[in-house]
Amino acid sequence: MSRALFIIDVQNDFTEGGALGVAGGDAVAAGITAYLRAHPERYDVVFASRDWHDGPDENGASDNGGHFALDAAPDFVDTWPVHCVAGTVGAQYDPALDVELIDVHIRKGQGVPAYSIFEGTTEEGDHFPLVLDKLGVSDVDVVGIATDYCVRASALDALASGRYVRVIDDLIAGVAPGSSVAALREVADAGADIEASTGKDLA
């Protein structure tokens, strides 16, 4: 049994100035780095996910299974502006996140819509749930972006997999206040703990 940290999508396109930047994203990146440096022995393994969407195909465009709105305005529910295309600056980690603190890098999307880290693979192509099982991960803390989308989906999938889940609520940032509050309520109702990084079990 081991404890893991999931760092969800702390990428340039999701922090300030990015294609889908959220307020507070840069602060989350810096906060995660500070938190891990302050607690170097807390986690047996640190995972970080990134959206890693396909770039233009031979016809000049790829909508990544309908995820990118190319021919109409995005609805910001199922379709989105182009973001986090593999190999671009937007897909890179926010510079305030120290990548040396990450043990395993997970890519998700890659031609299809994907929100949860559980839909991703390692850079070697191993499916994420199998990696978790192989490492015996039983307890999960979740941080990152965005609270109301990929953080929510990843936490719910971790709960559905039978693991203990905690969301560290001062190390996340959401698209909108209302939907972020609703997402945390949904995750808590599903069985997760919501705690600050300064809480009694984390400080």
Question: Catalytic residue numbers?
Answer: 9, 108, 150
79 within 8 A of 68, measured Cβ to Cβ:
yes
Number of C-beta neighbours around residue 140 at 10 A? 25
6 within 8 A of 144, measured Cβ to Cβ:
yes
User: Edge to edge, what strands does the sheet with 121-122 contain?
Assistant: 121-122, 104-109, 45-52, 2-8, 137-145, 164-173, 193-195
For residue 179, give the amino acid letter.
S
106 within 8 A of 112, measured Cβ to Cβ:
no
194 within 8 A of 169, measured Cβ to Cβ:
yes
